Amino acid sequence: MIPDATRFESDLRSLIALGDLDGALAFIRFLVDHVRFDPAAIGVTLGSPALDKLCSEIGALTLAESRQRAAASKPARNADVIILATELYALGGHSRVIADLIATRPDKHHLILLSNFFDSAEAAAAQSLASATTQVEIAPVAGRLDKLLWLQTGLARHPDAQVYVFNHHGDAATIAAIQPGLNREVSFCHHADYHLCLGVHLDWVRHVDFFAPCQHRCRAAGIAAEYWPLSVPDRGTRSHETSSFGAGTALTTCSSGVWSKFDENYPFHYADVIGEILRASGGKHLHIGGIPDDGLARIHASLAAQGIARERFEHIPQVPSVWATLIEKQVDLYLGSFPIGGGRATTEALGAGIPVVTHRHQLDPLLGAWGLGPAGTWSWATLQELGDILRQLTPARLAEHSLAARQHYLTHHSPGVFAQCVQTGQPATPPDFPAPPNDRLVSYLLRSAVRQESHTPVIEELHKRLQAVTEAGGQTSMPRTTQAPAAGGIADAIALYEAGNLEEAGAAFSELHARQPGEPQALTYLGLIALRAGMPDDARTFFTHAAGSSKDAANTQAAIGQRCLELGEAALAIDYLEAALKTNPALVGAYALLADALQQRGNAERALALLKPLMQQTRELHPEILLRIARLAAATGETGTEQAACMLGRQYAECHSRLLQLMAQYHDTAAATLLEETKSFVEKHAKVARSSLSAGSRSRLRAGFVVGSIDSSPITQHLESLLCELDGERFETLLFFDRIHDMASAQRLSLIVDESHTFAGMDPLGAAQLVRTKHTDILISLEWHAQLPALMIFSQRAAPVQINYSRPARSSALANMDYIVSAAADSSHFTERVLHLPHDDDPIRYASSFGDMLVEAWQACGGSLGVAA
């Protein structure tokens, strides 16, 4: 039996009937968020008539009180237009649409009411729209019910106003606040249009879409959607002359948008596609918009792996106008962001007369901004299609599309068209819209691949909440629990929490709190429980009280930060860890946690800047700090800092190992010097006396390959090729690995090896024992000191023959490494005996020689092949 998914509606209605309006609003938001953050729901679940109706029912219950409050405080000036939004941003599509909306009627008095439903409204961004005729008011930080009353009171004060609603997806207070008859006319402006959004199905409001494809989709869903085409100011066009377009090496392509539009769980990633674009276009690619450090590193790594010069990719983090930049940079072709398209940026490109290519998202073509632009606009769904488009470009075709793009802009997206819709209230006629091409089977497969497990927990949590409220006799705004356990100590309550029994843990901590008001641990855990129940506002309240009542506020704040980080709430963790360090800068552990939180938020540079000054201290730094500095420096490309940290932490194996890599990789270290440092490493961290295991007679040799990480690196690719080509008659193959970073590679390897085993979590002795129990005859290391856990297996004697096959060949200096595979005849820089393999770049050619070599090594240590064991 699976839970009844329709139960949420009756549960919410019961919650409303019991008077827990705040809880009902919270769970509506919770439910929307869960669906919204499921990648498989994108483009499918766009609205819910049931949730919209529930919001309306909640708002109807508060209407009388809101009207009373409004009557008690008349406004100084009546507003002609009210814009109801959740929040505004300095950058952001809907904020600009609101600005355009206001600009169309400068003679009207506008009032912007921000629900601040998530308590994250940027006051500065909101006030940027304020003027003599536009007033901005932001709801105070408060409960959800308070926000609803605040909004509704604001609306009730201006019954003659025309209302435009720009709510964020889960802003239940805004949708509850608007009520039939409360204001003159309400228009729901559907800007959050590819995820589940509240308000989409309200049948008594005007439903406005800003893009033709979105309007088409809403109409298909039975909504009387109107088309008010989004406009952008006209900043002129590029030349449509054929001679003005580059071709071959002169072709300039460009993409723009916030990084989240590119960084999706999708069959291919922008970072890897840039190389494809550059190979096909032969020119240069620009990216306008912020890219986090790790994203940029990924792009550069991908370009390097594809042999494409980094200079052919230019990153422009921020520009005043995408339109102007496209013209200034003489862009020949605009590739809309993918897999998620950007309507406004694409419209700017059309206006600038730039030929446009849109992406047909494999879940739903419209998500990739397919359908924007004139008929015949290029679009692609697969890399093959994109490559074909780019390879078939000619200056003449580009000029033709350039002209069509500009014409389309003038007809549909120039400011006059939008202004006319707003001023007259008459919707525009959308351009002809063909049925979206979509391979629904591919969509299905992709949705299956990205789907979240279940939304059952949300529905279950809601039901528990209802039970709690029912038992409490209604009207509660805090999580209640069904049963309070017998009085127990804090340790018992923590044990309940750690065991995942949040309900009982909540009761236990509540009881502790009742007995000992202000007990900081109880308050901290109550906050964590609220956080895990999706109530960050309540969590903050508990945390603030916990820190305030603690004798050691800094440590309490650090502990809260640590627990938030463990729950994946990096932003919250940063707040508390920063507060902890402000109170007590000597909390070294808090630095490490804060660095982790910053890195999780994509801010590795700031994390490094936080930790670097600690290296100047005279006292010895904790290895965890040194390792973090080294890793952050590696991630941000600060090789000097990384080397300095590794040098300082040389007494720790990981730092020393990394130091060796740096010496080998970044510096022209003499082979003799590298060998000496390697010997020093082994002396300090891996000193084990040479030993032996006997070799016997075998009908087939069991060859074990050891890698630290299965990923998409050249080492894994080389291993895959080698395993495919190694003679199956003479060898059985075993794979020993520590971690999997690329599941597809791991799956391919699992197909072709006879056995695969992980040594994750094992110490070197345990891992070596695993290798022995699998009767491995020859153990081969494919990495040098880059993968410490893997190499340490070889320090023990795990197999009768142990071979170092690092490429390029570098001595391991381990006493128990018998051989090294090298193309060079000179053996002076190796502690191992040399197995000579002249050419090893193509496993198809050398696999046979490699096999012969393994057999020779086996025979050299007394073994034989061809006789049954």
Partner 1 sequence: MRKWSVIICSINAAKFAHVTQCYERLLAGRSYEIIGIHDAASLCEGYNRGIAQASGDILVFSHDDVLLLDPGFADKVETRLGTHALLGFAGTTEVRDAHWWAAGTASQRGAVAHAAPGARSLSLFVYGVGDEPVDSVQAIDGMCMVAHRRAVNSVQFDATTFDGFHLYDMDFSYRVHLAGLGVGVMNDSPIIHMSSGDFDAVWDTYRERFLYKHADALGLGPDAVIPAPQPIQARAADFQSPAELIAAWQPRLLRRATIALLRGQT
Note whether 97 and 190 are within 8 A (CB): no
Q: Give me the phi and psi of 208, to 5 degrees please.
A: -115, 130
Q: Is 392 helix (H, G, I), strand (E, B) or coil?
A: coil
Supply the minimum distance, in Å, between the C-beta of residue 720 and partner 1.
8
Among 451, 684, 687, 845, binds partner 1 (CB under 8 A): 451
The least CB distance from residue 361 to partner 1, in Å, is 14
Shortest spacing between CB 747 and partner 1, in angstroms: 4
Are 56 and 179 in contact, with CB atoms under 8 Å apart?
yes
Q: Contact region for partner 1 (CB under 8 A) — 116-124, 628-636, 673-681, 718-726?
A: 718-726
Residue 116 or 733 with smaller CB distance to partner 1: 733
Kindly write down the DSSP assignment for every residue of 146-180, as one continuous string: HHHHHHHHHHHT-TT-EEEEE--TT-HHHHHH--T
Q: Is residue 267 part of the contact set for partner 1 (CB under 8 A)?
A: yes
Give me the least distance between CB of 841 and partner 1, in Å please. Answer: 17
Nearer to partner 1, 99 or 445 (CB): 445
Beta carbon nearer to partner 1, 9 or 754: 754
By CB under 8 A, name the one of 22, 677, 732, 840 that touches partner 1.
732
Residues 6+ apart with CB under 8 A from 619: none
Judged by CB under 8 A, which stretch of 114-122, 647-655, 680-688, 751-759 contacts partner 1?
Answer: 751-759
Does 774 help bind partner 1 (rule: CB under 8 A)?
Answer: no
Contact status: 2 vs partner 1 (CB under 8 A): no
273 counts as binding partner 1 under rule CB under 8 A:
no
Interacting span for partner 1 (CB under 8 A) from 42-50, 444-452, 762-770, 808-816: 444-452
- Total residues in contact with partner 1, by rule CB under 8 A: 27
HSE of 832 in the Cβ direction (CA atoms, 13 Å)?
27
Residue closer to partner 1 (CB basis): 266 or 805: 266
State which residue, 389 or 572, has the beta carbon closest to partner 1.
389
Amino acid, res. 731: F
Q: Which of 765, 694, 774, 695 is nearest to 735 (CA)?
A: 774
Q: Point out which span in 168-176, 436-444, 487-495, 630-638 binds partner 1 (CB under 8 A).
A: 436-444
Sequence length of the chain is: 869
Among residues 125, 258, 442, 865, which is the contact residue for partner 1, using CB under 8 A?
A: 442
Interaction of residue 446 with partner 1, rule CB under 8 A: yes
Residue 744, judged by CB atoms within 10 A of its CB (0-12, 13-18, 19+), counts as exposed
Q: Using the rule CB under 8 A, which residue among 743, 766, 845, 852 binds partner 1?
A: 743
Question: Among 123, 309, 396, 449, which residue sits at the site for partner 1 (rule: CB under 8 A)?
Answer: 449
Identity of the residue, 99 or 744, whose beta carbon is nearer to partner 1 in the bound complex: 744
- The only residue of 33, 122, 711, 754 in contact with partner 1, by rule CB under 8 A: 754
Q: Using the rule CB under 8 A, is 578 a contact of partner 1?
A: no
Query: CA 347, CA 330: separation in Å to the nearest integer?
Result: 17
Interface with partner 1 in residues 802-841 (CB under 8 A): none
- Min dist CB 596 to partner 1, Å, is 28
Select from 96, 612, 622, 748 the one that contacts partner 1 (CB under 8 A): 748
Enumerate the H helices of 666-797 as residue ranges.
671-685, 714-725, 743-752, 764-773, 788-795
Is 752 a binder of partner 1 (CB under 8 A)? yes
Angstrom distance (rounded) from CA 28 to CA 770: 52
Q: What is the DSSP letter of 373?
A: S
The 10 Å CB-count burial string (b at 16+, else e) for 321-336 is ebbebbbebebbbbbb
Q: Could you give the angle at the alpha carbon of 576 between the alpha carbons of 573 and 579, nearest 5°?
A: 145
| DSSP helix/strand/coil, 22 | helix
Alpha-carbon distances of 500 from 146, 493, 572, 582, rounded to whole Å: 32, 11, 21, 32
Task: Give the residue with the Cβ less far from partner 1, 621 or 752.
Answer: 752
Q: Is residue 148 a contact partner of residue 25, using CB atoms and an 8 Å limit?
A: yes
Q: For residues 543 and 534, what is the distance between their CA atoms, to the nearest angstrom?
A: 15
Q: Does position 381 bind partner 1 by CB under 8 A?
A: no
CB closer to partner 1, 17 vs 305: 305
Q: Least distance from C-beta 866 to partner 1, angstroms?
A: 17
- Candidate residues 243, 307, 440, 826; the one interacting with partner 1 per rule CB under 8 A: 440
For residue 96, give the nearest of 206, 221, 189, 32 by alpha carbon: 189
Residues 395-414 that bind partner 1 (CB under 8 A): none
Site for partner 1 in 87-146 (CB under 8 A): none
Which among 521, 564, 519 is positioned nearest to 540, based on CA atoms?
564
Selected binder of partner 1 within 750, 836, 842, 852 (CB under 8 A): 750
Q: How far is CA 241 from CA 245, 282, 297, 325, in A?
A: 7, 21, 37, 19
The verdict on 310 binding partner 1 (CB under 8 A) reads no
Beta carbon nearer to partner 1, 38 or 332? 38
Neighbour order of strands in the sheet with 356-359? 313-316, 284-288, 252-256, 333-335, 356-359, 378-380
Q: How would DSSP label each residue in 86-139?
A: S---SS-HHHHHHHHHHHH-TTSPEEEEE--TTS---HHHHHTT--SSEEEEEP
Least distance in angstroms from the C-beta of 759 to partner 1: 21
3-state SS assignment for residue 417: helix
Q: Contact between 386 and partner 1 (CB under 8 A)?
A: no
Can residue 448 be called a binding residue for partner 1 (CB under 8 A)? yes
Q: Binding of partner 1 at residue 723 (CB under 8 A)?
A: yes
For residue 698, give both structure tokens.
């075998």
Contact residue for partner 1 among 728, 766, 838, 862 (CB under 8 A) = 728
* Phi, psi dihedrals of residue 356, rounded to the nearest 5°: -120, 145
Q: What angle do CA 144, 146, 152 make, to 5 degrees?
A: 105
Decide if residue 439 touches partner 1 (CB under 8 A): yes
Q: Does 445 bind partner 1 (CB under 8 A)?
A: yes
Encoded one letter per residue, x for contact with partner 1 by CB under 8 A and - for no contact, window 216-255 reads: ----------------------------------------
C-beta of 280 vs 627, nearer to partner 1: 280
Minimum CB–partner distance for residue 752 and partner 1 (Å): 4
Out of 276, 504, 720, 840, name the contact with partner 1 by CB under 8 A. 720
Q: From CA 812, how far away is CA 830, in angstroms rounded?
A: 8
Which part of the chain contacts partner 1 (CB under 8 A), choosing from 245-253, 287-295, 716-724, 812-820? 716-724
Angle in degrees, 0-180, between the axes of helices 49-72 and 144-156, rounded to the nearest 10: 60
Sequential DSSP letters for 544-581: HHHHHH-SSHHHHHHHHHHHHHHTT-HHHHHHHHHHHH
Distance CA 661, CA 630 (A): 12
Per CB under 8 A, 724 contacts partner 1: yes
Distance CA 741, CA 832 (A): 31
Among 725, 765, 807, 827, binds partner 1 (CB under 8 A): 725
Nearest distance in Å: CB 754, partner 1: 5
Q: How far is the CB of 714 from partner 1 (least distance, A)?
A: 16
From 126-134, 210-218, 303-311, 719-727, span contacting partner 1 (CB under 8 A): 719-727
Q: Which of 220, 744, 760, 869 binds partner 1 (CB under 8 A)?
A: 744
Could you list the beta-strand ranges (E) of 257-376: 284-288, 313-316, 333-335, 356-359
- Binding status of residue 519 toward partner 1 by CB under 8 A: no
- DSSP character for 621? P
Binding site for partner 1 (CB under 8 A): 267-268, 384, 439-442, 445-446, 448-449, 451, 720, 723-725, 728, 732, 743-744, 747-748, 750-754
